A and B are shown apart, each in its own frame.
Chain A
Amino acid sequence: MGDLASLLLLPFLAAVIFVGMHTWLGLQVLRRGVVFADLALAQLSALGATVAVAAGHAPGGPAGFGYALLFAGAGAVLLTFSRRVSAQVSQEAVIGIVYVVATALTVLVVDRSPQGAEHVKRMLVGDILTVGAGNVQTLALLYGAVGLLHLACRRKLLAAAGGAPTLLWDLVFYGSFGLVVTSSVALAGVLLVFAFLIIPAVIGTLFSPRAGAALGIGWAAGTLASLLGFAASVALDLPTGAAMVAAFAAVLLGAVLLHVPRAGPRGVAMAAVGVVALAVLAQGIWLIASPASDQPLLAAFERVSGLGPERSMTAGERRIFAEATETEARNRREVERLRAAEREARWKGEGLGEEDLRRVASFQQTFNEMGRGERFVQDHLRAVARERERWTVGVPAVAASVLALLLVYRPRRRRAT
C-alpha cells in the first residue's frame, strides 16, 4: 500500500496544479470559442520537440523544450493574428489547418529519425503516472508565474476574450496558453490536457456566468474528477490517463443532471429510469432481430447475476455445455502448467533441449487448439439458447421497457399541462 500511495502522491499533486491553471485558461477558451486551439498548439510543440530530436538533441532535454516552446510561440502569434482576420475566415478554420499541417510535418520529420517516434508518441499520449518531484516543482513555479500575470491582468484578459480583438491581450493570452500547453502536454498528454482545459470550465460555466464563481466550481469539479480517475485506475487497474478522462466525463454528466432546470432528484431519477428503459428496449429488439449476434447488455447481465445462457438449454445441451466449459478449463490449466514448467526450465536445472522445447510447443499448440474447439461448442450452444431467448427474454424485455417508458412519460405530460 505504501508503494501505491507514494506512486500516486506526485501525479495527484500535478493533476491539482493542472486543474488550477487549465480551468482558468479553459474559461477564456470557451469565451473566445477556440476550443481546439490547445490541440493545435500542442501539436506545434510536439513538432518542435521532434525537430529537436531530428537535429540531434536528446529527447526530453532542455533543447527539446526550447524548440517546442519556439514552435508553440509561433503558433500563438499566428492565432493572435488569425483573430484579426476572422471577419473573412473563421478562426476555427485556421486552428484546424494549423493542427493538420503540424501533425503532417511531425510525421515527415519523424520519418527521418525513427528513434524520435516513441518520443513524439509520448508527447501526445503522456503518462501522468510517471510525473516526478522535479516536474511538480517546475510546474508549480511556471504556473505560479503565469497565474500571477493573469491575476494582475484578469479584467483585461476577460474583456479581450469576450469582446473585440486587442493585439496585446490576445498575444498575452495565446503566448501564456502556448507555454502552459507545451509543459502540460509533455507530462499528461493531449487527451488529458484537453479534459483538464475544457471539462471543469464547462461545468463551472453551467452553474455560473460569473468568472470567479465558475472558476471555483470548475476547480472543485476538476479535483473531484481527478480523484475519481485515480481511484478507478487503481481499483480497476486501468491506464491512468484514459481513466481520468472518463472520470472527467462522468463528473460532467453528473453536473449536467444536477443542472437540468427544475428537475430535482425526482427528475434525475426519472431520467435515469428513462435511459435504462431505452437501453433495455434496444437490447430486447436486437435480441429478437439477431439472436446469434453479440448481445452486450444481456451478456453483462448474465455475468453479474450468474444466470448463464444454460437456463434456456435442454438437459442434454446443458450437459454438453458444462462438459465443454470444464474441458476448456482443464486444457487451459494444462497450457498454464506447461508454460510455467518451460519458464522455470529457462534458468533452473538442466534446461530443456531444442527437441524437448519443440515437444512442449507442440503440446501447447494442441491444447490451445482443443480449447478453441471447446469454445466453438460453447458459442454454438449459446447461439441456440439465444434463439429461444428471443421469445422468452426479448419480448418480455421489450414489453417491460415500453411500459416503463410510458410510466415515466405520463407524469411529465401531466405536469406540463
Chain B
Amino acid sequence: MDRAVAGLRRRGVLAALVLLSGGSAHAQPSVVATTPDLASLANAVSDGAVRVESLVPPGGDAEAFQPRPAHLALVRGASLVLRIGLGYDEWLDRLLDQAGRPSLRRGGEGQLDLSTGVALLEVQGSSVEARSGHAHGAANPHYWLDPANAGPMSAAIAEALVHLVPERRSEIEAAHARFAADLRGRLAAWTVRLAPHRGAALVAYHNSWPYFARRFRLNIVEVMEPKEGVPPGPARLAALAASMRAQDVRAILIEPFAPADAARALAARTGARVVPLAPSVESAPGTGGYLALFDHDVELLAAALDEAR
C-alpha cells in the first residue's frame, strides 16, 4: 500500500515538474534513466545539479515495460537519456521516435548507453537472431549487478553531466569521487563477507546473476527457466533436482516477483534455500539506492549460505 501511494505521489510530483519545466528556461536540466538503478547512479554523482527520473517504476520489469503518455512528456523534456542497452530497454527507441528528439536517439549526443563501457558476458553477436533461444539480445544485460561495473558506469554518467552543466563541474566531480570511494570501501567489505562461500554452487531462476556471480566468485550451475518467461517442465525440474544434489547446491536465487513455486518445490526436494535477491534498486525493502542494493543482496545471500553450511 505504502509503495502504491508513494508511486502515485511520485507520479503526481513528476507530472507537476514536467508542467513547470515546460515554461521555465532556468529549470534544472532533466536526465531520464530507463531503470531505477541508472537513476540511482545518476543521483549519486549529480549532487543535485540535474533532475533525475526513472522511466521503469521501482520493482517494475524493465523488459516488459510499456511507456505511458506521462513518460513521453518526460522524455520530451529530457536533456540526457541513460540506458542499459543490449536489448534490455528496447522500448526506449520507439518512445524517443515518438518524442521527436533526434539528439536523444541512439548514436546522438543526448543518449548514453552504459553497456559500451563494461566488459560483457554471454555475448551472442552484433545482431539478434530468432534461433538464439534466449530473449536477451547481444549479451547478458544484467551488468549493473556487478558493483565493480558501477566504477566505469558512474564515471561515464559524471562525464556526461559535466558536459550538460559545465558550470557545476566541481560539484559533480566531487560527488563522483565520494561515490567512487564509498563504492571501493563497500566492495571490499562485500567481497570479504562472501569470501567464505567462494565457489559455492547456486541455481538461479532467471539468468540475471552472471555478473554478480563472477564478481563474488560464485558458481551458478543451472538456470531454472529453459527460456525466458517459460516455466520449467517436469523433466527439467527432475533433472535440476538430481543435478542440484550431485553438485551440492545450497541456494536458489530468485527475483522477488518471479514465480517462486517451482523454486520452492525444488528447495523442498534438495534441502537448498530459496534466496529472494533484489535485481534492482527499490525492488525489495531496504534497497533504496545502488549501494544499499548490494548491502541487501550480499547480506541476504551470505546469511543463507552461512546457515546452509
Contact = CB atoms under 8 A, between A and B. Distances in A.
B125 A365 contact: yes
Contacts of B2: 56
B4 interface: yes
Contact of B3 (A6, A115, A235): A115
A3 B257 contact: no
A155 interface: no
Interface in B1-48: 1-4, 7-8
A118 B258 contact: yes
B120 A130 contact: no
Interface string B121-142: 1111111010000000001000
A237 B235 CA distance: 6
A254 to B, nearest CB: 24
Interface string B92-127: 000000000000000000000000000111111111
A372 B4 contact: no
A11 B261 CA distance: 13
Given A7-B265, A115-B3, A365-B125, A233 B234 contact: yes
Given A237-B233, A240-B234, A364 B123 contact: yes
A371 to B, nearest CB: 8
A239 B126 contact: no
Contacts of B279: none
A238 B233 contact: yes
B234 A118 contact: no
Interface string A333-370: 00000010010001110010011011001101100110
A8 B265 CA distance: 12
A1 B8 CA distance: 51
A378 to B, nearest CB: 13
A4 interface: yes
Contacts of B196: none
B234 A112 contact: no
Nearest to B7: A112
Contact of B1 (A55, A127, A132, A239): A55
B121 to A, nearest CB: 7
A132 B261 CA distance: 9
B4 A4 contact: no
A369 B257 CA distance: 35
A115 B257 CA distance: 6
B121 A234 contact: no
B230 interface: yes
Nearest to B8: A112
A230 interface: yes
B93 to A, nearest CB: 22
Nearest to B255: A118
Between A7, A55, A117, A372, the greatest number of chain B beta carbons within 10 A of the residue's beta carbon is seen for A7
A361 B123 CA distance: 6
Nearest to A353: B119
Interface string A1-24: 101101110010000000000000
Interface string B207-241: 00010011001110000001000110111111001
Contacts of B7: 112-114
B256 interface: yes
Nearest to B59: A114
B259 interface: yes
Interface string A101-117: 00000000000111101
A357 B123 CA distance: 10
Contact of B262 (A113, A127, A361, A362): A127
B4 A361 contact: no
B242 interface: yes
Contacts of B139: 361
B184 interface: no
A122 interface: yes
B59 to A, nearest CB: 5
B120 A234 contact: no
A31 B198 CA distance: 64
Given A3-B269, A115-B3, A240-B234, A372 B129 contact: yes
B199 interface: yes
B61 interface: yes
B43 to A, nearest CB: 20
B199 A114 contact: no
Interface of B: 1-4, 7-8, 57-61, 64, 119-127, 129, 139, 198-199, 210, 213-214, 217-219, 226, 230-231, 233-238, 241-242, 256-259, 261-262, 264-265, 269
Given A112-B8, A114-B7, A361-B123, 6 more contacts: A114-B60, A230-B234, A347-B198, A347-B217, A368-B123, A369-B125
